[in-house]
A = this chain, B = another copy of it.
Amino acid sequence: MTVLAGGVGAAKFLAGLAEVIDPAGLSAVVNVADDTLVHGLHVSPDLDSCMYTMAAVNDSDRGWGLRGETWHAMDHLRRYASANEIQHGDAAGWFSLGDRDLGTHLYRSSRMAEGLTLSEVTAEMTRAWELGCDLLPVSDDDLRTRIHTTDGRELAFQEYFVRERHDVDVSAIEVLGADVATPAPGVIAAIETADVVVVAPSNPVVSIDPVLAVPGVREAVARRRDSVIAVSPIVGGAALKGPADRLLRDLGHEASVVGIAQWYAPLAATLVIDVEDEGHRGAVESKNVSCVVTDTIMRSVDVSADLAAFTISAVLGSGGR
């Protein structure tokens, strides 16, 4: 199985999937266009969300980072910032990193400074958490999502997402570096050889699109269309979390399962929608996408596992749990 993955939604789906299949047969191709340097450290929010959630050490209430986290480093940093009335830039500390989480970023940054690729250090981290699966950054090259706002600003992804709490009107999105990036080792093979390719319930605009934007990835997924199934991140016209609905509307799309069906139609033969959206089944299928319906709201690992099993069996028939 191969999963195209962004952050929280994908992480939960992957944790469920690892309950119902042998993780040795599982690859996740993960967005890295949200990656950022914070205080000189390489932070990979989506890889970390997947890793922490699969290791069951994530903070599910906060929605990011580690459970039982402490914040001494950031509190200490903010002492300097506030004494000097610093409001902007890294030093202002608006991008919070917990103390344990810092260990992840310090390790990643060290190893990359020693010459490892992001893929290689991710494999080391996956080993340390004993995940058993492959977490593959979609590329080892730098990809950076840039958000253009209707009021003429250009924001780095984390400025948009964290600092501005995605409360801005977006006019366009670009993924810097995508045109010259190459897929990381194993990415294309994972898509080509999987029995099922799942597009996780992640933000299609800023999580999945940057994965597809790496030359060769979109084409590889499209070639597998019959074995590709997307899980809708939109339920009842809204994103469960984050700005997917607003972004779809800002960019002229419909923020509904029908909009998602149309968005993914060139890539995925099947769409999983939530029971709440069952009434839209016909409209989804009018987009030339098979529609299957189940509970997609991953309140617990058990629900995630049921959703994962259902998703696999929707493609394979009798597979799954």
**Interface contact B91-A111, CB-CB below 8 Å:** yes
Partner of A72, one of B84, B99, B109: B99
Kindly list chain B residues whose C-beta atoms are within 8 Å of the C-beta of A279.
none
Kindly list chain B residues whose C-beta atoms are within 8 Å of the C-beta of A99.
70, 72-73, 76, 99, 102
Partner of A103, one of B73, B83, B89: B73
Kindly list chain B residues whose C-beta atoms are within 8 Å of the C-beta of A74.
103
Instruction: Type the 1/0 row for A90-126, where 1 means its CB is closer than 8 Å to any CB of B.
Output: 1100000011111110110111011000000000110
Kindly list chain B residues whose C-beta atoms are within 8 Å of the C-beta of A103.
72-80
Using known A-B contacts A128-B80, A128-B83, determine if residue A113 contacts B73 with beta carbons closer than 8 Å: no
* Oligomeric state, in copies: 2
**Interface contact A114-B90, CB-CB below 8 Å:** yes
Using known A-B contacts A70-B99, A106-B73, determine if residue A84 contacts B128 with beta carbons closer than 8 Å: yes
**Interface contact B128-A114, CB-CB below 8 Å:** no
Number of interface residues of A (CB under 8 A): 37
Inter-chain CA distance A89–B111, complex, in Å, is 8
Kindly list chain B residues whose C-beta atoms are within 8 Å of the C-beta of A110.
39-40, 77, 89-91
Residue A133 CB within 8 A of the other chain: no
Residue A41 CB within 8 A of the other chain: yes
**Interface contact A40-B128, CB-CB below 8 Å:** no
Q: Which of A15-54 contact B (CB under 8 A)?
A: 39-41
Inter-chain CA distance A125–B82, complex, in Å, is 11
Kindly list chain B residues whose C-beta atoms are within 8 Å of the C-beta of A188.
none
Inter-chain CA distance A101–B102, complex, in Å, is 12
Instruction: Select from chain B the residue with minimum beta-carbon distance to A84.
Output: B124
Residue A127 CB within 8 A of the other chain: yes
Kindly list chain B residues whose C-beta atoms are within 8 Å of the C-beta of A40.
40-41, 109-110, 113
Kindly list chain B residues whose C-beta atoms are within 8 Å of the C-beta of A239.
none
**Interface contact A100-B114, CB-CB below 8 Å:** no
Kindly list chain B residues whose C-beta atoms are within 8 Å of the C-beta of A104.
76-77, 80
Residue A222 CB within 8 A of the other chain: no
Partner of A107, one of B80, B98, B107: B80
CB distance from A59 to the nearest CB of B (A): 14
Residue A156 CB within 8 A of the other chain: no
CB distance from A309 to the nearest CB of B (A): 30
**Interface contact A124-B89, CB-CB below 8 Å:** no
**Interface contact B114-A89, CB-CB below 8 Å:** yes
Q: List 13 A–B pairs whose Cβ atoms lie within 8 Å, in order of A's numbering.
A: A39-B107, A40-B40, A40-B41, A72-B103, A73-B99, A73-B100, A76-B99, A76-B100, A79-B103, A79-B128, A83-B128, A84-B127, A91-B114
Other A-B pairs, 4, CB within 8 Å; known A70-B72, A80-B128, A84-B124: A72-B99, A77-B107, A80-B125, A90-B110
Closest 8 CB pairs of A and B: A76-B103, A83-B128, A91-B110, A90-B110, A72-B99, A77-B103, A40-B40, A39-B106
